[in-house]
Amino acid sequence: MEKSLTILQNEVDQWIKTIGVRYFNELTNTAILMEEVGELARLMARTYGEQSFKSSDQNRDLGEEMVDVLWVLICLANQTGINLEEAWEKKAEKRTQRDLHRHQNNEKLK
Give the separation between CA 33 and CA 94, rounded to whole angstroms: 25
> Domain-by-domain residue ranges, the chain?
5-83
Q: Is the pLDDT of residue 37 over 90?
A: yes
Residue 79: pLDDT band (50, 70, 90) is very high
Fold of 5-83: Helix Hairpins (1.10.287)
Q: Is the pLDDT of residue 80 over 90?
A: yes
Give the separation between CA 45 and CA 52, rounded to whole angstroms: 8
pLDDT average, residue stretch 17-24: 96
